[in-house]
Amino acid sequence: MFFPRTLQSRKTVGVFDYTPTKTEYKAMRVLNFTCQCCNFKATPTKSNPACGLEFLTINGAMKMLCLMCAQSQMLMRPIGLSNGNKEYNHGRLVYCPEISQGKIISVIRDIYCLGQYQKSNPNRALRRYVEELRETYIESILSRCANIPALKITNNDLVGYASLYKYASPELLNNESDVFGSIRYIPDEVVYSHLIKQWLNTSYKHLLK
Angle at 100 between CA 94 and CA 104, to 5 degrees: 65
* pLDDT of 113 higher than 90: yes
Query: What's residue 8's pLDDT?
Result: 83
Quick check: 91 and 157 in contact, CB under 8 A?
no
Among 154, 148, 139, which Cα is nearest to 182's?
148
Q: Output Rg (C-alpha) for the chain, integer angstroms.
A: 17
pTM for this predicted structure: 0.90
Helix (H) or strand (E) holding 91: strand 91-95
pLDDT digits (tens, 9 = 90+) for 29-72: 999 999 999 999 999 998 889 989 999 999 899 999 999 999 99
The amino acid present at 41, given as its one-letter code, is K
In Å, the largest CA–CA distance within the chain is 53
Distance CA 85, CA 90 (A): 13
Higher pLDDT, residue 67 or 209: 67
Distance CA 58, CA 153 (A): 25
Query: What's residue 192's pLDDT?
Result: 95
Distance CA 82, CA 64 (A): 24
Query: What's residue 149's pLDDT?
Result: 59
Distance CA 54, CA 152 (A): 33
Distance CA 45, CA 20 (A): 12
Kindly report the three-state secondary structure assignment for every residue of 28-43. Answer: HHHCCCECCCCCCECC
Most confident among 32-41, 82-91, 114-123 (mean pLDDT): 32-41
Query: What's residue 142's pLDDT?
Result: 83
pLDDT digits (tens, 9 = 90+) for 131-153: 999 999 998 888 865 556 556 66
* pLDDT of 203 higher than 60: yes
Angle at 99 between CA 94 and CA 102, to 5 degrees: 90
Distance CA 21, CA 77 (A): 21
Distance CA 97, CA 99 (A): 6
* pLDDT of 166 higher than 90: no
Query: What's residue 152's pLDDT?
Result: 62
Higher pLDDT, residue 159 or 131: 131
Q: Could you tell me the CA-to-CA distances from 185 to 74, 124, 193 in Å, in that order?
A: 11, 30, 17
Domain extents for the chain? 22-200
Among 58, 75, 60, 62, which Cα is nearest to 24's?
62
